[in-house]
Chains A and B, each alone.
Chain A
């Protein structure tokens, strides 16, 4: 029999930590700080709206680019948070999570051999999506000394004649790093000079702890060269609803909609009705959750300080990214040993790029009691290592 598999797909390396997660899921009474999704249930008024839409029999497809009401609310939301105007009719598409927007966004703009710059450590899907779109991924290794922000020098060094897209993943998973307005202005200047398209993944935009998030699309001259990606998973604790969106120049959104229409048809209808309500009435609920995350963030930062483990202060998302280089182990060795000996699961930094070596991603999307227990186990583990 022939080999039926695609060379391109088989060539993509599988997630290196699959094995690690298999152990975690088998292990009883392990405490996990590994999950990258909110621990909160979706606020009830949002769930209620989803249920109501089902009761009313709204079980049909929506238009390909999403419910008109939802696109209008997304437009309002971005106007009130970022002061950017997006036309609901032509410049917004509702997708199956932010992840679909990344995929179709890249596929809509890439020609073979175009280069896509991906700063790492970052979310795992940028590189495979770029490869599947026939682009050449160019990795920038972000540095702890810069608080894992992207610097203009790093960007300039990565740009070639073939560079087309810069992926800008802030607030960042896994580091929790943010980019403030001044940082973005420098990047924007280069993007304009070098004629780059920016794919700004702002899925954690509602969860920042040092002033409000600023989108690069809000900087002069950037709206026409930015695909802004956001969604409902993190802000509204709606991961399972699979709903995100992209805003961008009309021409790009039109091509993205074409792929979306042939591959997906439309995002889930129930989720879309619920999301309209989330955007209309959800600001307070989001703020409550943000405060909770912030309390846990402070708790973890303080715990690592007391343990004497180096950790830069993250101002976004719900992760801390402590450095474990002093223990002379790889991230994976450390995480595996911690799991085996103290039954705490954290994610090795290398899951998010080679430059995550020497770091761990610790999620604080867990209750304070859970975090406390985990920290006391980590403390015990670290003391053993140091003695």
Chain B
């Protein structure tokens, strides 16, 4: 049940649990127990909502920042990653293989604020060698969801 449950919740965490239990062929109690286990084991870390901010009046600017760092003795990349991810405006931090080390996504109200974050907060950190900032111009797909998808059923009627 676990795999199937996770793949459903990943797409829709607001699904009605009674209904979900039926869909998985389990009792509601079994389902709730399993979900609470998954939460305790930190397999389910959080429940988010995917918002298309472009359609609101709220200004948001996002950027991907490639960061090259010198790993620190005894701590590798973990310590520097923590110094970065503790900023609430940082949305994600990934350790990456290839030409640079950390990929940081940042969300701010304006270009200026992103520039300020990079120059005032990120770059001055001790072990950071260089950064490259890429602004996101348009989101086509995020978290497995196509942003502007119209879900119209276009199947035609035919005699079965």
Write the residues of chain A forming the contact surface with B, with a CB cutoff of 8 angstroms.
15, 17-18, 21, 24-25, 32, 34-37, 39, 123-124, 173-174, 291, 295-296, 298-299, 302, 347, 351-352, 361, 366-368, 370, 372
Contact = CB atoms under 8 A, between A and B. Distances in A.
A296 B23 contact: yes
Contact of A174 (B8, B24, B158, B160): B160
Contact of A302 (B22, B151, B158): B22
B159 interface: yes
A173 B155 CA distance: 18
A24 B159 contact: no
Nearest to A305: B22
A32 B159 contact: no
B143 to A, nearest CB: 17
Given A35-B155, A291-B4, A299 B160 contact: no
Interface in B127-160: 151, 153, 155-160
A17 B159 contact: yes
B160 A39 contact: no
Contacts, number: 49
A37 B155 contact: yes
A298 B157 contact: no
Given A21-B159, A291-B4, A361-B160, A299 B153 contact: no
A367 B11 CA distance: 13
A36 B160 CA distance: 6
A124 B160 contact: yes
Nearest to A303: B22
Contacts of B23: 295-296, 298-299, 368
A25 B153 CA distance: 13
A52 B97 CA distance: 31
Given A295-B24, A298-B23, A298-B24, A173 B157 contact: no
A362 to B, nearest CB: 12
Nearest to A25: B157
Given A298-B25, A351-B159, A368-B23, 7 more contacts: A18-B159, A21-B157, A37-B155, A124-B159, A291-B4, A298-B24, A299-B23
A347 B160 contact: yes
Contact of A15 (B22, B25, B156, B159): B159
A115 to B, nearest CB: 25
Nearest to A38: B155
Nearest to B151: A367
14 contacts: A21-B159, A25-B156, A35-B155, A35-B157, A123-B160, A291-B4, A295-B23, A295-B24, A298-B25, A299-B19, A347-B160, A352-B160, A368-B23, A370-B153
B25 A34 contact: no
Contacts of B160: 34, 36, 123-124, 173-174, 347, 351-352, 361
A221 B18 CA distance: 48
Nearest to B159: A15
A348 to B, nearest CB: 10
Nearest to A21: B157
Nearest to A35: B155
A35 B19 CA distance: 24
A39 B158 CA distance: 14
Given A295-B23, A298-B22, A299-B23, A32 B157 contact: yes
Contacts of A368: 19, 23
Nearest to B25: A298
Nearest to B24: A295
Contacts of B25: 298
Interface in B1-58: 4, 8, 19, 22-25
